[in-house]
Amino acid sequence: MSGISIEQTLGDARAINPDIDCVQHDVHADMKLLKQIARWCERYTPLVALSGKDGLFLNITGCVHLFGGEKAMLEDIMVRLKAQGFAVRLGIANTAGAAWALSRYGDCMIAPQNARALLEPLPLDALRLSKTTVRELAQLGFKTIGCLADLPRAPIAARFGNEVLLRLDQALGREDEALSPFQPAAELVHEKRFSDPVVHEDGIRATILILAKQLALRLEERGLGMRKCKLLLFRADGEVTFLEVEASIPMRDAKRIAALFDERLANLRDEWDAGFGFDVVQLSILRSERLEARQEDMITGCLSQEKLSRLVDHLSARLGSDRVQVYQTTATHIPERRSSLAPAMHNQPQQAATEKTDTAIRPILLFPRPELTEVMAEVPEGPPIRFRWRKAQYEVTCFEGPERIACEWWKDGRNAHTRDYFRIETSEGCRLWLFRYGLYERETDAPKWYVQGIFA
């Protein structure tokens, strides 16, 4: 175009065309736009992969008949993308390498079963080789793919490595090429296409319920339950809105699935922009688990655990899964680390089995952080006799212990000290949990004392 070529300096380009516009290249913005186009292409197939910084691979196996054939699909993609302002080149072939070559260097967009005849006259750049390799091959007189197709393989591999042969075999279908989808492939997908785009939110909600019922039947056939579900709303002008919901336990109730999306749609009410309407609504199952039949309660009609799960699901859908949290236990002996907050969606609270003991060995109230106290003992390694805590003096009337808990050196380092815990009772009747931090003369010469919690 006007004598301007790739990798040409800006000065040379302006010398050829003084009226040329110059815009700083934003690589991150280009990649963001490419990912948006990839998400839009999921209306044709769920298997969309990125191809470098300027292309996409679409695995349309089993999807072509939904659009009236390969030619009709290509025309639909081209018309829609051009309407959005993009310059598009497309190609369909049995291999990803052949489709890449045809879309960039070929005259035919749809290759027959054997695409070799179309690939042979194409330049070596169509094999996705490095520029250095193409230049070295050109110096030896190799200009097209056909020049390499029937040559002995050993000399080529010895001279240029395996890259040339690998790309050639991938283009001709001799070697399989694995593509990594841009989004995780959905286990089950159902969609609804509209000849007249739907605009109203009530129409979207009704469509979600219809699709959820179809997915529920497929899940029931497989004995599975939904754990994560995604909704894609394809707007007529190319914008794509996607929402995801999760379930704390596997489920396949269509009304419950639709209700979770109702919560998400309610959050988008202020930002809801249907534009010219949505012409495709797609609902897919991203993750599922085995769901066995369970006996429901005869009075309430559902299981008690299911009631809690419903509450967690609705709150997580409305507020966000990270904002609905529960306490969970962790595998550690350090008391203040025994519990932590985690999303309730992935950590359902369970009824803990309690052992019947005559004496509580852990306090009712455990402080988030141990509180420093001043303690007097008969001997440095002995139990406390009196201590000062929170500006008050206490006398110890009886005690139990010590209970020794070693440090977690893999977290706190090898300089962390051992703890000796004592359950003590004061003259006022307070029962506290104290510990001495550090073994006398073995770990420290001045052990410190802390109050960890209160029994009563």
pLDDT at position 10, please?
85
Instruction: Look at 50-59, 104-113, 281-290 and tell me which has the smallest mean pLDDT.
Output: 104-113
Q: Give the pLDDT confidence score for residue 254 in this predicted structure.
A: 92
Q: How confident is the model at residue 33 (pLDDT cuts 50, 70, 90)?
A: very high
The predicted pLDDT at position 300 comes to 55
Name the DSSP letter for residue 400: E
160 has pLDDT over 50: yes
Burial of 12 (0-12, 13-18, 19+ CB in 10 A): exposed
Q: What is the pTM of this model?
A: 0.67
Q: What domains appear along the chain, each with residue ranges and CATH number?
A: 10-172 (no CATH), 188-293 (3.30.1490.100), 365-454 (no CATH)
Mean pLDDT, to the nearest integer, of 428-448?
90
Percentage of the chain beyond pLDDT 70 is: 93
On average, the pLDDT of the chain sits at: 86
Distance CA 58, CA 350 (A): 44
- Exposure letters 368-386 (e unless 16+ CB within 10 A, then b): eebeebebebeeeeebbee
Band of residue 322 on the pLDDT scale cut at 50, 70, 90 = confident
Q: What per-residue confidence (pLDDT) applies to 29?
A: 92
Q: What is the largest CA-CA distance in the chain?
A: 100
Residue 453 CB-density burial (10 A; 0-12 exposed, 13-18 middle, 19+ buried): buried
3-class secondary structure, 348: coil
Return the bridge partners of 51, or none.
55
**pLDDT surpasses 90 at 263:** no
If pLDDT is split at 50, 70 and 90, which confidence band does 353 have?
very low
Are the CB atoms for 43 and 76 separated by under 8 Å?
no
Structure tokens at 65: 């008949």
What was the pLDDT predicted at 357? 47
